[in-house]
Amino acid sequence: MQIKENINPLVSIIVITYNSSKYVIETLESAYNQTYQNIELIISDDSSIDDTIEICERWIDNNRKRFVRSELIKVNKNTGISSNCNRGLAVANGEWVKLIAGDDILCTECISIFMRCSKMHFDSRIFFSDVYLFGTAENSSKNVSVRKWLDSSLNFVETHGDALKQHKELLFENRVCAPSAFLHRDTIMKLGGFDEDIKLMEDYPLWIKATKNGQIIQCVRECLVKYRLSDSSVQGSKYYRASYELFQQKYIFKTLLFYIFLPFIDQLRVNRKDLFLIGMLKVFTLPQRFLFIYQKKIKR
């Protein structure tokens, strides 16, 4: 008996919120207005202290008929972006997931176009698209730099359809626009989901893990998400800098050691290899040891 392919699989839109009351209605309305119909809506809140939860609860009550199902996840303690994304991912039933921050906006054709691309590139499990830039910083130099980075990333991924090449490039620069990422749920779960050790950086570690495991990232030239720029950013905080330092130690430095130094080490005499390798690891992990001490002080 021939099994009929599901031509319109369930897609989970996962809205990631933390003190998002100012803009979250715009995000939810953009999920409601999708031309693709087979959608479930999940809102994962990271212990907001404003009225985000109350706003989302009212909105779900008034609009739940639009979705296959709706769920609001609440926690009592703020745990960071990566953990918040994992909570949404864990309860999602969709074959594909679209995570979206509670201040960004999905274009109406977003899910439809991503699903069309997933059928064209049936062996790919990670997609991202171009985005519209808007918000308080849209006319600033930040807009120019983000736009330049986006164009460069789209060009790179479009011309490098090999997972290993993408992986090596990602060791030097993030090339994937997280706000527009469209992910195959089971694939991401098999990769271990988002790294909760890196609390404020959910995307970059995932791209490195995925390409290391042979997953090719595909891009879509159309603008499918509106990404809100802000003059203030979590990336300027001391907590983000700590997360980024930990990310570099865990994903970048040791991998570069493998690619760059191990071929050199193999040229050394056997009794020198271990000494050299231990010395290099001590140098690369020194910031990580300082970071561990710093994090302990923060928790006190």
Q: Which residues pair with 11 in a beta bridge?
A: 39, 96
Average pLDDT over residues 250-277: 64
- Phi first, then psi: what are they for 220, rounded to 5°? -120, 125
Strands (DSSP E) contained in 49-164 are 70-73, 96-101, 105-106, 126-135
Question: What is the structure's pLDDT at 223?
Answer: 97
Higher pLDDT, 253 or 197: 197
Structure-model confidence comparison of residues 215 and 251, the more confident one:
215
pLDDT value, residue 12: 98
CATH architecture of 11-231: Alpha-Beta Complex (3.90)
State what percent of residues in the chain have pLDDT above 90: 65
Q: What mean pLDDT is predicted for residues 146-168?
A: 92
Neighbours of 5 (CB within 10 A): 7
* Residue 110, pLDDT score: 98
Render pLDDT for 128-147 as a digit per residue (tens, 0 to 9).
999 999 987 656 778 888 99
Q: For 108, list phi and psi in degrees, rounded to 5.
A: -60, -30
Average pLDDT of the chain is 87
Average pLDDT for 271-281? 60
**pLDDT range class, residue 161, cuts 50, 70, 90:** confident
User: What's the pLDDT score for residue 2?
Assistant: 41
- How does residue 165 score in pLDDT terms, banded at 50, 70 and 90? very high
Q: Per residue in 186-217, pLDDT tens?
A: 999 999 999 999 999 999 999 999 999 999 99
List, in order, residues 6 or more apart from 2 with CB less than 8 Å away. none
Backbone angle region of 237, left / alpha / beta, with phi > 0 → left and psi within -120 to 50 → alpha: beta
Burial class (CB in 10 A: 0-12, 13-18, 19+), 125: buried
Structure confidence at residue 3 (pLDDT): 39
Task: Concatenate the DSSP letters of all residues of 180-194 into one string.
Answer: G-EEEHHHHHHTTSS
In a 3-state reduction of DSSP, which class is residue 218?
strand
Positive or negative, the CA dihedral 190, 206, 84, 246 is positive
- Phi and psi torsions of 6, nearest 5°: -75, 105
Q: How confident is the model at residue 235 (pLDDT cuts 50, 70, 90)?
A: low
User: SS3 for 13?
Assistant: strand
Mean pLDDT of 160-186: 93
pLDDT at position 119 over 80: yes
What pLDDT digit, counting tens, does each position of 86-109 carry? Answer: 999 999 999 999 999 999 999 999
Average pLDDT over residues 63-77: 97
- Give 43-52 pLDDT, tens digit per residue: 999 999 999 9
pLDDT at 293 over 60: no
Task: Output the pTM of the full model.
Answer: 0.85
